[in-house]
Amino acid sequence: MRRHHLAAAVIAAAVLFAAGNALAATPGVGECMDCHGDKTIEKSLPDGKTLSLYVDLQEYRQSVHGGTSCVTCHADAKAPHDKLGKVSCSKCHGDAEKSYAGSAHGKKLRTKEASGVPGCDGCHGRHDIRKVKDPASRVFRLNIVATCLACHKDRALEARYHHLPDQKLIAAYEQSVHGLASKKAGLTGSAVCSDCHGNHGILPADEPKSATHRQNIPTMCGKCHAGILEQYEKSVHGKGMRGGIADSPVCTDCHGEHTIVRASDPSSPVNLRNIPRTCSGCHEKEGITSRYALPKKRFSSYMDTFHGIAVEYGMTKAANCASCHGVHDILPSSDPASSVNRANLQKTCGKCHPNASPNFAKGVVHVEVSPKKAMGVFAVRLFYTIFISALVILFVLHVGLELYGRWTRRRAGAQSGKEGKP
């Protein structure tokens, strides 16, 4: 029995010792708060500034990690301790860390000159991290814009990193239809930064893998605007884009990106008044019309019609490009399903002009005036131009001749001393 007692005592001592050692090596939250619960605790930095080391316990307890312990993240923390190693989130959040490492932020963070580049804490916070769906989270849908703009609206930061997009352009999002929908109307369904740009794996738009690279834009917008994407995919522009034609317009070419506003807004490129100029941005461009063998003079020939002039002066009831050609579903006139296919013209014109007869729809519409495309108009114009010019020349000749005749007679009359015929 005695031997048993001894063994028990030895084991108990060993356990107690080990436990004591363990307590000294991994402090509990309470022990950490002995120091870090003090609001005045701070550390001096080499540049003379001070860094507060205070941790708000209540904030931490309410955070998504509130149920864990300090050492879960600060694994090397002892009490007391010197400067701790960097916190790595990858132990638990491996996927996020991996996609972040390949992102523009991640790559920049690894360079030497990096300062102000957001790591995990830059967006998610530190001790106060909350779930994405928690309205108090910094990355909650309605808060994320403010989180991104905290840096991307900063002019100093823009100056430091030359590849950063113009802060004014980014900030224009706040006044956009998406920005107002989330900020003013409080809609969580409206697009925020991360919906288009992605989150951890964010990349600049010129990288093919970027969510905002040209070739990915329709799919990206289509995440929300699925019905529009479906129409677009069938259109000449969508097919061209999917076929690898980089000039073929994607959503942002017509609608803008950060500046997107409602089509009813006069500043929108797809406002009824602005549509002709927006479309002709490509369709009046010599390079594009020649390269893809498109009809030329789309804008000027339209502007010479009553429709064009009326729209230019604000009579938006008049037809703009989209009224006849369609919007997201534009098809070439050669396609039997196109609204401007010869067979469908009467119906298309008839939307506004119910009396348009099949006979009416036979003519060509806003083509360049050339003998090949519009012989009648070309010939009549030419006739009048020549006729009027000739008439002006003949008038001037007649007047000159008459004055010359009067002048010579008068001189002759004066010389012979007789009254010349006036």
Partner 1 sequence: MSRADLASGQVIRMSLLFRVQHLVLTVLLLILAVTGFSLMYHDNALAQAIIRLEGGVHNRGIVHRIAAVLLMANVAHHLFYMLLSREGKREFQDLIIGRRDIDDFLQSLRYNIGAAAEYPLFGKYGYKEKFQYWGASVGTVLISITGFMLWAEEFSMRLFPKFVLDLALVVHGYQGLLAFVILFFWHLYNVHLHPSVFPMNPSWITGKVSAEWLRREHPLEYEKLKEEGLL
Footprint of partner 1 on this chain (CB under 8 A)? 303, 309-310, 312-315, 349, 353-357, 359-365, 374, 376-377, 380-381, 384-385, 387-388, 391-392, 395-396, 399, 401-406, 408, 421-422
Name, in order, each residue with C-beta under 8 angstroms of 108's C-beta and a sequence gap of 6 or more. Answer: 114, 117, 161
Closest distance to partner 1 from the beta carbon of 206 (Å): 38
The one-letter amino acid code at 232 reads: Y
Nearer Cβ to partner 1, position 259 or 280? 280
The span from the CA of 341 to the CA of 325, in Å, is 9
The closest of 86, 88, 92, 120 to 105, measured between CA atoms, is 120
Residue 52 has φ and ψ, to the nearest 5°, of -70, 135
Nearer Cβ to partner 1, position 82 or 419? 419
Tokens of 81: 């301790």
The closest of 50, 32, 53, 30 to 41, measured between CA atoms, is 53
Nearer Cβ to partner 1, position 262 or 411? 411
The span from the CA of 145 to the CA of 191, in Å, is 10
15, 58 contact by CB (below 8 A): no
Q: Which DSSP string do the residues of 198-223 spell out, in sequence order?
A: -STT---TTSTTSTTSGGGHHHHHHT
Nearer Cβ to partner 1, position 14 or 403? 403
Radius of gyration of the chain (CA): 38
Name the H helices within 102-176: 104-110, 120-124, 144-152, 155-160, 167-171
422, 410 contact by CB (below 8 A): yes
Nearer Cβ to partner 1, position 267 or 385? 385
Q: Which DSSP string do the residues of 12-49 spell out, in sequence order?
A: HHHHHHHHHHHHHHS--HHHHHHHHT-TT-EEE-TTS-
